[in-house]
Amino acid sequence: MTKKQVIIDTDCGIDDAQAILMALAAPDLEILAVTCVFGNAAVEDVCQNVLRVLSVCEREGIPVFRGSSGPLVGVSNPVSDHFGGDGLGDVLEDKDLHWEEKIQQEHAVNAMIRLVSGNQKQVSLVALGPLTNLALAVKLDPYFPEKLKDLYIMGGNMEGKGNVTLCAEFNFAVDPESAYVVLEEFLCPTYVASWEYCCRNALTWEFFEELINQDAPAARFMKKITSRCWAYSKQAMVTKRDVYFGPGFVSYDAYAMAACIDSSVVMESIECPVRVEMQGSVARGMMVLDRIHALEKRHSVSVLTKCDAAKFGRLLMESVRQPCRKQSSKDLI
């Protein structure tokens, strides 16, 4: 059986790490590359975080590429401290002084274009951070989107409920122009796991405790990086998520990855055109759903709404129980 080819574009924080582990555990996925972008941390930290995750599962053969260090337009805003200053909870002391030697020299955007062009209509792109690399890819190669098989995005929102601003979700808020470009110009099948989708399909804190207490290297890694992070504490301060949706364990980026791995995880979705607001002083970065086709756009996306919690939970559990297995870097770079 032919494996599904995937490129993961990430700003590797704790939930990205969980999503990458999920992809590594999926037997039917071939990860062609991991491309890095600023977001949860500076892009240099993101690169190191990805290398750490791959190392946990002995999958260092997968090529990692450094990408955009700031948004498409304007100056880079300070990175989020949601997952700590380094993106992985500020608990890892084993700094690799030679990490740059392990990163491919080619820029992430160029690598993305090359790999997709060489495998047209075969590659699924899973975008877990700000969409800057994707926006640059379509600007460099206008035919890039039509060469993709499909695109999975964790980001945006569908009800104007924001987590970093009043109306916008983090990945879209830090680079609204790139989010706008991608959702206007990527005409391939596109699936959006919005902030509300993730929050509405939260798992229990009891499940989280079971997840991180498995006897496996990946589980121990996840337990360590979540150990001091308030976002992974049942007793944490009240967040916007709690106010809007109530408490629960949410591994945001894993929802987009799960949809890529197994489409049956998604039970319901809304098919409609969308647009990212860029001008509003209050709503900049908000994703607007056009259910009445007032925008007269020719392209609709699938905005995910309901998740099969049991299947999603199984994928999460498999991600931390996985045995270490190597993947050769031959033919990938």
Q: Is residue 262 part of a domain?
A: yes
Instruction: With a cut of 70, say whether residue 78 has pLDDT above it.
Output: no
Look at the block and give the residue holding tokens 């260090």.
Answer: 69
Q: Is the pLDDT of residue 333 over 50?
A: no
Instruction: Work out the burial of residue 309: count CB atoms within 10 Å of its CB; fewer than 13 is exposed, 13-18 middle, 19 or more buried.
Output: middle
- Rounded to whole angstroms, how far apart are CA atoms 232 and 250? 9
Residue 31 has pLDDT above 80, yes or no: yes
| Alpha-carbon gap, residue 158 to 183, rounded angstroms | 14
pLDDT higher at 68 or 281: 68
Tell me the average pLDDT across 88-115.
88
Q: What average pLDDT does this structure show over 175-183? A: 97
d(CA 128, CA 12): 8
Average the pLDDT over 219-245 and give the result. Answer: 80
Give the integer Cα–Cα distance in Å for 162 and 173.
9
Residue of 314 and 88 predicted with greater confidence? 314
Average pLDDT over residues 100-116: 97
**pLDDT at residue 231, as a whole number:** 77
> In CATH, what number is assigned to the domain containing residue 239?
3.90.245.10
CB 56 within 8 A of CB 48: no
Apex CA 250: angle with CA 249 and CA 252, to 5°? 165
Report residue 279 as tokens: 């001008």
In a domain, 218, yes or no: yes
CA distance to 161, 241, 300, per residue, from 292 (Å): 21, 28, 12
Q: Is the pLDDT of residue 287 over 60?
A: yes
In a domain, 333, yes or no: no
Kindly calculate the radius of gyration of the chain based on its CA atoms and give it in whole angstroms: 18
Parallel, antiparallel or unpaired: strands 301-307 and 287-289:
unpaired
Give the mean model confidence (pLDDT) for residues 265-272. 98
Of 112-116, 242-246, 278-282, 316-320, minimum mean pLDDT range: 242-246
Q: Over pLDDT 70: what percentage of the chain?
A: 92
> pLDDT-derived band of residue 331, with 50, 70 and 90 as boundaries?
very low
DSSP letter string over 139-203?
HH-TTHHHHSSEEEEE---SSS--SSSSS--HHHHS-HHHHHHHHHH--S-EEEE-HHHHHHTPB
Is residue 330 a part of any domain in this protein?
A: no
Range in 81-85, 177-181, 231-235 with the lowest mean pLDDT? 81-85
Q: Which tens digits make up the pLDDT trace of 123-153?
A: 999 999 999 999 999 999 999 999 999 999 9
> Domain total for the chain?
1
Residue 56 has pLDDT above 70, yes or no: yes
Is 332 domain-assigned? Answer: no
pLDDT of residue 80: 63
* Residue 329 within a domain: no
In Å, how far are 108, 278, 283, 333 from 104, measured between CA atoms?
Answer: 9, 34, 38, 9
Say how far apart CA 172 and CA 178 lie, in whole Å.
Answer: 8
Q: Does a structural domain hold residue 80?
A: yes
Residue with more model confidence, 74 or 59: 59
Q: Distance between CA atoms of 139 and 156, rounded to whole angstroms?
A: 21
330 pLDDT above the threshold of 50: no
Q: Which of 15, 35, 224 is nearest to 137 (CA)?
A: 35
**Mean per-residue pLDDT for 170-182?**
96
Q: Which residues have C-beta within 8 Å of that of residue 126, sequence separation ≥ 6?
A: 6, 7, 8, 9, 19, 23, 152, 256, 257, 260
**Over residues 16-24, mean pLDDT:** 98
38 has pLDDT over 90: yes
Q: Which of 12-26, 64-78, 237-251 has the highest mean pLDDT?
A: 12-26
Q: Which domain holds residue 94?
A: 4-321
Inter-axis angle of helices 43-56 and 217-226, to 10 degrees?
A: 150
